[in-house]
Chain A
Amino acid sequence: MPGKRPISPHLQIYKPLINMVMSIFHRISGSALYFGMFFLAWWLMSVASGPEYFGFVQGVLASIPGRLILFVFTWALMLHALGGVRHFIWDTGRGFELGTVNWMSWLSLLGSIVLTLLIWYFGYKMIGAF
C-alpha cells in the first residue's frame, strides 16, 4: 500500500550540501569501520598465533591492495572521529547556525584528510621511507 502513495523527496532530489554530504559520510565511514574491526581482530589474532601466521598477515596488509584498504580505513576513522566531535558540540546545543554548520563540516573533511596523510607519513617513516 505505501508504494502507491506519493512519498516525500529523497536524497537524489536535493542539491548536495556539505553538511548533508558529511552526515552521509559519517554513516558510511561508521559502517566501514564496523567491518574494519574484523581486520584489527585478525591482526591481533595473528600476533597471538605465532611468527609464521603473523608474517603472512603482515604480508597481506603490506601489499598494495592491503595498504589501500588500510589507507581508506584510516581516512574513515579520522572522518568518523571528527564527525563525532562535531556531534559533541551539537549535543551541547551549540553550533546550529547555518554558517557554523557549514564551516564545521568543511573543517572536519579537511581535517580528516590532513590527519590521514600525517598518520601515513609517520607510518612510512617507521619503515624508513624518509
Chain B
Amino acid sequence: MSMRTPLSRTRGLGSAKEGADHFWWQRVTAVANLVLGIFAVALLVSLVGSDYATAKATLASPLVAIMLLLFVLSASYHMKLGMQTIIEDYVHSEGRKMLFIMLNIFYSVFVGLTCVFAILKLSFGA
C-alpha cells in the first residue's frame, strides 16, 4: 500500500499511449463505412419487397457477401468506439463506467458476429 497520492504515482508517466489509436481507427472505419455504407444502402433498397429466394440468392453471391461482411465489421467496430466515447463523457462513476464499457464491447461483438454468422451461413448454403 503506497502512501503516495494516485496523482503523484501517475505524474510524469505520460498518457496511456492509446488515445491516437482510438482516433485513428474511428477515422479509418468512418472512411470504410462511407464507401461500404453506400453499397449496403443500395443493396437493401434493391431488396425492398423482394421474395425470399431473391433475397437469399443476392446475399449469398460472393461479392455481395464480402462487401456486406466488410460493412458489418467496420460498422460494429466504429460503433463500439463511438459509444465508448459517449460512455466516457457521461458516466462518471468508475464502477458504472467499467460496466457500461464492457456491455458496449459485448453488444458490439454480439451484433457484429450475428451479422457475420448470418452472411456466412447464407454464403455456405443455408
- Chain A interface residues toward B at CB < 8 A: 27, 30-31, 33-34, 37-38, 40-41, 44-45, 47-51, 54-55, 62, 74, 77, 81, 84-85, 87-88, 91, 119, 122-123, 126-128
Contact = CB atoms under 8 A, between A and B. Distances in A.
B115 interface: yes
B118 A44 contact: yes
Question: Taking chain B's interface residues, is the majority helix, strand, or loop, or is none over half, making it mixed?
Answer: helix
Interface residues of B, number: 34
B101 interface: no
30 contacts: A27-B86, A30-B82, A30-B83, A31-B83, A31-B86, A34-B82, A37-B111, A40-B115, A41-B72, A41-B114, A44-B114, A44-B119, A44-B122, A45-B117, A45-B118, A47-B122, A47-B126, A48-B121, A49-B126, A54-B52, A81-B34, A84-B33, A85-B34, A87-B30, A88-B27, A88-B31, A122-B45, A123-B48, A126-B49, A127-B49
Nearest to B47: A126
Given A27-B86, A34-B83, A126-B46, A47 B76 contact: no
Contacts of B33: 81, 84
Contacts, number: 84
B120 to A, nearest CB: 9
A44 B59 contact: yes
A88 B30 CA distance: 9
